[in-house]
């Protein structure tokens, strides 16, 4: 591929289509439009034939790695196959042509879909009600913390702190600050789980809630929830579950039944809707009965067989997004739920767990494991064993690109040095998991035999090592001609 911009391929006079000559008299634009509406100079458009446009964008689309190209073992982020049937339903004209301001009576089908989705999520999580208004995981966290604050305020004291274990997802502390609370950090024990004694010593009546990422960022199920719930509830606090990775327990555990009061889901992870590139997501929150009055409004309700959007509850935290969140993401997620059904959703969870443990079993003798415990849907290796040869986890991740794989999450969670965090998801076959394991083991051998090769990777990607700091801090995406 030549890597030229489409503008650089432009040759004056080339056209994608040829139009028939006029069969009416030609009129000057300035006679039809006021001057303010007319361009001062012609638009700068590339002049290229149609096939060149098609080839250009087809080639560009395959320069980027994406889930339709191969396995995407990104830990924590759950990049699984997005079934194409989801796209069929999400492009039904009855949904795509819906005006956001349409009367409830004119969009009964859409409201019913949201209602059914929220009801399904409530059942899966053991919660009393769900609001699918938040549009991202972190947005769900913020909305949930606002609900928690409103609940405590109603009881007379908003409280001051939210406890966060060191194995939590990074968005948690940010959401806490955004919601006007301060964080208290607590440690993990040698098993990579919340240290219950440490929690006990920090839990006071000034603590509004604890936010628990479950499974935590080590891929480990927090075993001591009952004990934690007793301690936190004992002081009037609430238990929040970061359920972004609900695909590790869906159909097996209902958080609402084991002591959690509120949780968020990531439809763009667990429920197979596309994500990445900052595209639209959805982060519904579910709550126990005592928190229902505080949920965002409007809420979709069903009365006498009719669906409507309801507002007017004085305790509600109000709107957290325009209209009702990202509707077409909900259509995709609901399609996934209907396609799999109750048993299928549980089976997807079981497959995600089996796949992660299979891959781990192929790697754990050669790689060092941060915490050697049975995992759920993902696991964390550490690159400390090869650090002596001067090769870092970053280099291994870059070398993986040469073998045609996307790199796993690296340097996260922060409690594991040189972390390599892998989540294969339930959608991959054994052959694909083996291919990834073989790739990783081959690179380990390369590190022994030829560390320079790995340190200088990637060798055959369209671009080599990017200056990521500059790219993030000095963003300039406009091409100058
Ligand atoms: C992805 C993720 C989030 C944040 O979700 P966004 O949609 O990216 O805001 C929060 N917690 C966990 C555990 C996650 O994996």
Instruction: Return the best residue to mutate from 140, 242, 244, 352 for the ligand 1 pocket (most ligand atoms within 8 A of CB).
Output: 244
Residues 152 and 231 placed together within one structural domain of the fold: yes
Among all chains, which residue has been given the structure tokens 């604890």? 210
Q: What is the greatest pairwise CA distance in the chain? A: 87
Residues 360 and 249 placed together within one structural domain of the fold: no
Instruction: Return the best residue to mutate from 77, 221, 266 for the ligand 1 pocket (most ligand atoms within 8 A of CB).
Output: 266
Ligand 1 atom nearest to 136, measured from its CA: 7
The enclosing domain of 462 has a CATH number of: 3.90.1150.10
Ligand 1 atom nearest to 140, measured from its CA: 9
77, part of any domain: no
Residue nearest atom 2 of ligand 1, based on CA coordinates = 244
User: What is the distance of C-alpha 303 from the center of its chain?
Assistant: 33
Q: Using CA atoms, how far apart are residues 212 and 241, in angstroms rounded to an integer? A: 5
User: What is the distance of C-alpha 386 from the center of its chain?
Assistant: 31
Instruction: Return the best residue to mutate from 75, 76, 241 for the ligand 1 pocket (most ligand atoms within 8 A of CB).
Output: 76
The tens place of each residue's pLDDT in the chain, 481 residues long, gives 677 899 999 999 999 998 899 999 999 988 999 999 999 998 989 999 999 999 999 988 888 888 888 999 999 889 999 999 999 999 999 999 999 899 999 999 999 999 999 999 999 999 999 999 999 999 999 999 999 999 999 999 999 999 999 888 889 999 999 999 999 999 888 888 999 999 999 999 999 999 999 988 888 888 899 999 999 999 999 999 999 999 999 999 999 999 999 999 999 999 999 886 666 899 999 999 999 999 999 999 999 999 999 999 999 999 999 999 999 999 999 999 999 999 999 999 999 999 999 999 999 999 888 788 778 899 999 999 898 899 999 999 999 999 999 999 999 888 899 999 999 999 999 999 999 999 999 999 999 999 999 999 999 888 888 888 888 888 777 755 4
3, part of any domain: yes
480, part of any domain: no
Q: Using CA atoms, how far apart are residues 411 and 394, in angstroms rounded to an integer? A: 8
Q: How many domains is the chain partitioned into structurally?
A: 3
Instruction: Return the best residue to mutate from 137, 219, 325 for the ligand 1 pocket (most ligand atoms within 8 A of CB).
Output: 137
The radius of gyration computed from the CA coordinates of the chain, to the nearest angstrom, equals 26
Q: Using the mean position of ligand 1's atoms as its centre, give its distance from the Cα of residue 138 in Å.
A: 6
Domain boundary among the residues 340, 368, 389 is at 340
Cis preceding linkage at 210, omega within 30: no
Is residue 267 a contact partner of residue 273, using CB atoms and an 8 Å limit? yes
Q: Using CA atoms, how far apart are residues 339 and 251, in angstroms rounded to an integer? A: 15
The enclosing domain of 112 has a CATH number of: 3.40.640.10
DSSP 246: G
Residue nearest atom 1 of ligand 1, based on CA coordinates = 77
Q: Using CA atoms, how far apart are residues 320 and 318, in angstroms rounded to an integer? A: 7
Q: Using CA atoms, how far apart are residues 204 and 210, in angstroms rounded to an integer? A: 11
Among all chains, which residue has been given the structure tokens 């006990």? 200
**Which runs of E-coded beta strand occur in 61-206?**
129-131, 161-165, 182-186
359, part of any domain: yes
Residues 323 and 356 placed together within one structural domain of the fold: no
Q: Using the mean position of ligand 1's atoms as its centre, give its distance from the Cα of residue 264 in Å.
A: 9
Q: What is 322-353 written as a DSSP string?
A: STTS-HHHHHHHHHHHHHHHHHHHHHHHHHHH
Q: Using CA atoms, how far apart are residues 96 and 435, in angstroms rounded to an integer? A: 39
Q: Using CA atoms, how far apart are residues 294 and 147, in angstroms rounded to an integer? A: 5
Is residue 200 a contact partner of residue 231, using CB atoms and an 8 Å limit? yes
Range of the domain at 320: 84-340
Within 6 A (CB) of ligand 1 lie: 76-77, 136-138, 169, 171, 213, 242, 244-245, 266, 281, 283
Q: Using the mean position of ligand 1's atoms as its centre, give its distance from the Cα of residue 11 in Å.
A: 46
Q: What is 99-158 written as a DSSP string?
A: -TT--GGGGHHHHHHHHHHHHHHHHHHT-SEEE----SHHHHHHHHHHHHHHHHHHTT--
Dig out the tokens for 311 from the structure. Answer: 């507002």
Q: Using the mean position of ligand 1's atoms as its centre, give its distance from the Cα of residue 58 in Å.
A: 31
């Amino acid at each position: 591929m030549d890597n030229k911009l489409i503008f650089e391929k432009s040759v004056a006079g080339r056209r994608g289509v040829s139009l028939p000559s006029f069969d009416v008299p030609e009129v000057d634009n300035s006679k039809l439009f006021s001057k303010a509406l007319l361009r001062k100079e012609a638009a700068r458009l590339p002049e290229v034939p149609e096939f060149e446009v098609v080839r250009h964008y087809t080639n560009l689309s395959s320069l980027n790695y994406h889930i339709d190209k191969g396995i995407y073992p990104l830990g924590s982020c759950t990049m699984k196959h997005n079934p194409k049937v989801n796209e069929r339903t999400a492009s039904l004209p009855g949904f795509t042509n819906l005006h956001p301001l349409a009367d409830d009576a004119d969009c009964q089908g859409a409201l019913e879909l949201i209602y059914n989705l929220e009801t399904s999520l409530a059942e899966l999580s053991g919660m009393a009600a769900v609001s699918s208004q938040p549009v991202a995981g972190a947005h769900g966290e913020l909305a949930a913390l606002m609900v928690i604050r409103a609940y405590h305020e109603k009881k007379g004291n908003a409280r001051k702190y939210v406890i966060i274990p060191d194995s939590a997802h990074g968005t948690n502390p940010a959401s806490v600050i955004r919601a006007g609370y301060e964080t208290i950090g607590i440690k993990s024990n040698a098993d990579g789980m919340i240290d219950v004694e440490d929690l006990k010593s920090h839990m006071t009546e000034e603590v509004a809630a604890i936010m628990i990422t479950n499974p935590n960022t080590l891929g480990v199920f927090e075993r001591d929830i009952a004990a934690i719930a007793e301690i936190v509830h004992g002081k009037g606090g609430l238990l929040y579950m970061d359920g972004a990775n609900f695909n590790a327990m869906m159909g097996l555990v209902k958080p609402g039944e084991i002591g959690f009061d509120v949780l968020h889901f990531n439809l763009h992870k667990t429920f197979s809707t596309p994500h990445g590139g900052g595209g639209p997501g959805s982060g519904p929150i579910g709550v126990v009965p005592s928190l229902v009055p505080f949920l965002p409004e409007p809420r979709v309700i069903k009365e006498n067989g009719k669906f409507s959007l309801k507002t007017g509850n004085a305790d509600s935290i109000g709107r957290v997004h325009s209209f009702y969140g990202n509707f077409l993401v909900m259509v995709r997620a609901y399609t996934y739920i209907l396609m799999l059904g109750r048993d299928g959703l549980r089976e997807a969870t079981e497959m995600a767990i089996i796949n992660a443990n299979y891959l781990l079993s192929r790697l754990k003798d050669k790689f060092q494991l941060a915490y050697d415990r049975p995992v759920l849907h993902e696991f964390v290796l550490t690159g400390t064993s090869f650090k002596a040869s001067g090769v870092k986890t970053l280099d291994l991740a870059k070398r993986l690109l040469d073998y045609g794989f996307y790199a796993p999450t690296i340097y996260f969670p922060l409690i594991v040095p040189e972390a390599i965090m892998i989540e294969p998801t339930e959608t991959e076959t054994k052959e694909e998991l083996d291919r990834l394991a073989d790739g990783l083991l081959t690179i380990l051998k390369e590190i022994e035999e030829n560390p320079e090769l790995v340190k200088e990777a990637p060798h055959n990607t369209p671009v080599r090592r990017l200056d990521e700091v500059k790219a993030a801090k000095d963003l300039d995406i406009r091409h100058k001609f």
